[in-house]
Chains A and B, each alone.
Chain A
Amino acid sequence: MTVLAKAMLGGRAYRWWLTALAAAIVTGVLLWLRQWHQGLAVTGMSRDVAWGLYIGQFTFFVGVAASAVTVVLPYYLHAWRAFARVVILGELLAIASIVVSLLFVLVDMGRPDRLLNVLLHPSPSSLMFWDMLALAGYLALNVIVARAALAAEIDGAPPATWTRGLVLLSIPWAVSIHTVTAFLYAGLAGRPFWLTAAMAPRFLASAFAAGPALLILLCGAFRYDIGEEALCKLRLVMTYAMTANVFLALMEVFTAFYSGIPGHAAPYSSWTWLSGGFAAAALALALGRSRYAPAAVFASLAIDKGVVLIPAGFIPSPSGAVTPYIPTAVELGIVLAIWSVGALLVTILFRVAIAARELDAGASPQCLAS
């Protein structure tokens, strides 16, 4: 596969980019070994705030993975040809996001060496068990489908017909992974901030905004032209989904404050208001068709869902204790490393996909920073 080999090569900037990612990943691995040795005490988590940045980031990236559905569904179900150039990127982004989210679960575990206990002692009453099944299945579906699509493209042939069934299965499966992730939080009796039926709908809305936003940003970074029509449609999906997300968030605020139940209103701190403010600003940019809208939407959701949502559920604790949560440098280094793993996967997978596409179109591959 000379196409693949060629896609791996690149210019000086590309090599620097890979070096930087590798350095971040190596640093992260070292920090993680330190965390393993000293325990999760090296993080900012505490007795009252049992989950922090790791689980927040896990949640956010499950959403990005699920958002592949925003290109897969129109393309395969509604035969919307404008997404022909972007659909494979959506699937590849889903693969990278699932890997990233699973890594975040791994680094959050107190005993990562016992990971296999989840399979050795399956517990169907635990939503974590179902979440693992959903994520593993979704990863497998996307790997099989994307691999078949890429192979067909490199051979210049249409994708194998047997993949269609799997693609269609991946659509409800994508919805399921983020619904089950929402259930992890929405089913907890003692955490009023999360105890809301709007959690899963809101997760899906914010995912379908963050995913297309990231896809638009990545196409820009790779200087990959997906066509004006596809770009407009992606932005439209992003804007509508972001509107739905902000609407649902406002519903939460109403319920918490009009009911006046202290437990429901207490978790609204300056952090939640700040991330809400970011979301409103991002929505305004999207509605105003600003070119910065995708970056703003992605950043605001990465903060809202990836940073604020999870610790906010623990503050105050059921006994009323207010323990602030501030991530430590070790924690941030590990988060950066996992982001770098995701960036590395995206770099390689996207370059292969774009090279295969250009080969198909008879043009030379256009690559990131080559």
Chain B
Amino acid sequence: MVFDLAKCDGCRDCTKACTKMHFVPPMQEWIKVYEVEDNQAAGSYFLPRTCMHCDNPPCVRGCPVGATYKRTDGIVMMDQDRCIGCRNCIAQCPYSARFFNWGEPPHTPEEMKAAYSVEHNYPHRKGVVEKCIMCPEMLRMGMLPACADTCKMGAIYFGDEFEDAVTNGKGETMQFSKIAETGAGFRLMEELGTEPRVYYLPPVNRKYPSPEEKHMHDATKA
């Protein structure tokens, strides 16, 4: 997955689409958009974060029962049929990408109609850990994950690193190696050696009003 931070305008449609698709309980965002200001001199930008689907995942290493595991296609999966709720994976994850159902999550009738599958992780249950699973059911149908599919700005690209192609919700397909190289792609907390599979393109030459302008605009509107 590639996030082009120059395009993300912080509308959070991705979070809404994800929450809708997976019936994500309240207090969880499998994709969360942070507004980041690295220092006072620099302007702020929006940073969407999902599970990083690390190639060297600390959560998988730490799970005492193999309830979270790495699929051959790179997705870090989560099996709520096996999870014992010890939360070691939450302690292990440096990206805060994992959530625990502290109580019984509120259910919708639609959610309860579905049979549990490790590929969609609902109906949700209390006492187990959940996270972004990169919409395996969509991928099975050759579609983009819900967040990438819904992004109006086309800021979220998804694809196969070995095919060297990533596609966004506007149907624009790019050569991954090319945009990563020319766009100076980076990954979060590279220094920890987790080898995340989520790349970011820096927020330069933004394709949207800067967050500061947006805030001023919102303020005048209100």
Contact = CB atoms under 8 A, between A and B. Distances in A.
A114 interface: yes
Prevailing SS type, chain A contact patch: loop
Interface stretch (A36-44, A264-272, A298-306): A36-44
Given A46-B102, A110-B83, A188-B91, A126 B34 contact: no
Interface string A316-350: 01110100000000000000000000000000000
Interface stretch (B15-23, B63-71, B114-122): B63-71
Task: Pick the 7 closest A-B CB pairs, nearest first.
Answer: A110-B85, A190-B94, A110-B127, A41-B103, A128-B64, A41-B102, A39-B103
Contact of B94 (A39, A123, A189): A189
A111 interface: yes
Interface in B88-133: 88, 90-96, 99-104, 126-129
B143 to A, nearest CB: 30
B94 A118 contact: no
Nearest to B62: A126
B35 to A, nearest CB: 12
Given A39-B126, A126-B64, A110 B101 contact: yes
Contacts of B207: none
A132 B100 contact: no
B93 A190 contact: yes
A47 interface: yes
Contact of A110 (B64, B86, B193): B86
Interface of A: 38-43, 45-48, 50-51, 105, 108-112, 114-115, 117-118, 120-121, 123, 125-129, 132, 184-185, 188-191, 313-314, 317-319, 321
Contact of A189 (B60, B82, B86, B194): B194
B96 A317 contact: yes
Contacts of A48: 96
B219 interface: no
22 contacts: A39-B101, A41-B103, A42-B103, A45-B102, A50-B87, A50-B90, A50-B100, A108-B87, A110-B86, A110-B87, A110-B128, A110-B129, A111-B85, A117-B64, A123-B66, A125-B62, A126-B62, A188-B91, A190-B94, A190-B95, A314-B91, A318-B189
B138 interface: no
B27 interface: yes
A110 B61 CA distance: 19
B100 A127 contact: no
The B interface is mostly helix, strand or loop, or mixed, namely loop
Contacts of A123: 63-66
A127 B62 contact: yes
Given A108-B86, A111-B85, A126-B88, A38 B104 contact: yes
A47 B27 contact: yes
B130 to A, nearest CB: 11
A251 B82 CA distance: 41
Given A51-B87, A127-B62, A40 B96 contact: no
B85 A38 contact: no
A318 B94 contact: yes
A259 B51 CA distance: 30
Contact of A115 (B84, B94, B103, B126): B84
Interface size grouping (class) on chain B: 35 or more
Nearest to A130: B64
Given A110-B86, A110-B128, A190-B94, 13 more contacts: A38-B103, A39-B127, A40-B100, A48-B96, A109-B85, A110-B129, A117-B65, A121-B82, A123-B64, A125-B61, A128-B62, A318-B94, A321-B96
Nearest to B27: A47
A284 to B, nearest CB: 34
B95 A191 contact: no
A106 to B, nearest CB: 10
Given A110-B100, A110-B127, A111-B83, A50 B91 contact: yes
A252 to B, nearest CB: 19
Interface string B48-87: 0000000000101111111100000000000000111111
B41 interface: no
Which one of A112, A120, A189, A191 has the greatest number of beta carbons of chain B within 10 Å?
Answer: A189
A110 B86 CA distance: 6
A110 B90 contact: no
Contacts of A110: 83-87, 100-101, 126-129
A347 to B, nearest CB: 31
A319 B27 CA distance: 16
B216 interface: no
B100 A47 contact: yes
B141 interface: no
B192 interface: yes
B91 A51 contact: yes
Contacts of B87: 50-51, 108, 110
A38 B127 CA distance: 9
A118 B85 contact: no
A10 B70 CA distance: 59
Given A108-B86, A132-B64, A318 B91 contact: no
A321 B29 CA distance: 15
B31 to A, nearest CB: 14
A305 to B, nearest CB: 17
Contacts of A115: 84
